[in-house]
Amino acid sequence: MKNLIIKAAREAGALLMENFERGIRVEFKGKYDLVTEADRQAEALIVRHIREHFPGHDILAEEDDYGELNSDYRWIIDPLDGTTNFAHGFPWFAVSIALEVRGQLTLGAVYNPYVGEFYFAERGVGAFLNERRLKVSETHLLERALLATGFAYDHKNCKANNYDYFARFQREAQACRRPGVASLDLASVAAGRFDGFWEMKLKPWDLAAGILLVEESGGRVSDFDGNPMTLDSLECLASNVLIHEAMQKILQPGCRPHALPSI
């Protein structure tokens, strides 16, 4: 399974690069939510690898519904995280694949093929960037922290749009960034490049591999209240542990998803 996740992520990344270099055809799943042929091709490639070797495993992926086999093993796939970046020719996107065993994240890979960075985590073993073991940063003051976040596709129409939190963190932290790829944001927390990350209304395939990367590099992932993170949570807070409580305080007031019945 470890060899499969590495092979599938690398091959999917190579496929994305082929599409990226020759031009991209874009479609819309919603008013603002993009999908490209590269998304579908990369997902089909990953699923083909899994079905060939582990036909009885469950698969949860962004672009298609593969049913439920009630297996103890579930693969969680985002074939192209950062589709908007990809579609606009902005070279910051990733393949994200995770394996969940009996409800526990066990393996995770996030691959940025444009820069050749392959993040990999195995529960109890550690997290790595290419061959380098990862460790979260040692920044202990929020005012010295570099943070990352993102905005959901419905941010123009929903009150829980993260604008209020972004403004607060811009005042309290050293700086905030919005790269547009949650899996890479989490991987960057694991690598010590970002000190913290928060976002709302992410999907399981956005989170799964990144959560394991942060945890295996010594970081912490929770909801905004500090409760253990689940893949179905509408809130994600990840940090180097040292600034976690300070970030939680900023995230308590404001417009949060669970306060809006329509979400």
Going by the DSSP 8-state scheme, the letter that residue 141 receives in this structure is -
Residue type at 227 in one-letter notation: N
Region class of 103: left (phi > 0), else alpha (psi between -120 and 50), else beta: left
CATH topology of domain 142-259: D-Maltodextrin-Binding Protein; domain 2 (3.40.190)
Out of 31-45, 89-103, 104-118, 217-231, pick the least confident: 31-45
Of the candidates 251, 253, 245, which has an alpha carbon nearest to the alpha carbon of residue 141?
245
Report the alpha-carbon distance of residue 151 to residue 180 in Å, rounded.
Answer: 8
Averaged pLDDT for residues 143-160: 85
258 pLDDT tier (thresholds 50, 70, 90): low
Model pTM?
A: 0.93
Out of 62-66, 170-174, 182-186, 191-195, pick the least confident: 62-66
CB contact set of 8 (below 8 Å; sequence gap of 6+): 45, 46, 49, 50, 97
Report the alpha-carbon distance of residue 151 to residue 153 in Å, rounded.
Answer: 7
Write out the residue limits of the CATH 3.30.540.10 domain(s) in the chain. 2-133
Write out the residue limits of the CATH 3.40.190.80 domain(s) in the chain. 142-259
CA 189 to chain centre: 11
- What CATH class is the domain 2-133? alpha beta
Report the alpha-carbon distance of residue 230 to residue 104 in Å, rounded.
Answer: 10
Report the alpha-carbon distance of residue 12 to residue 100 in Å, rounded.
Answer: 20
CA distances from 62 to 11, 176, 219 (A): 18, 27, 26
pLDDT higher than threshold 80 for residue 33: no
Of the candidates 114, 119, 71, 75, which has an alpha carbon nearest to the alpha carbon of residue 97?
75
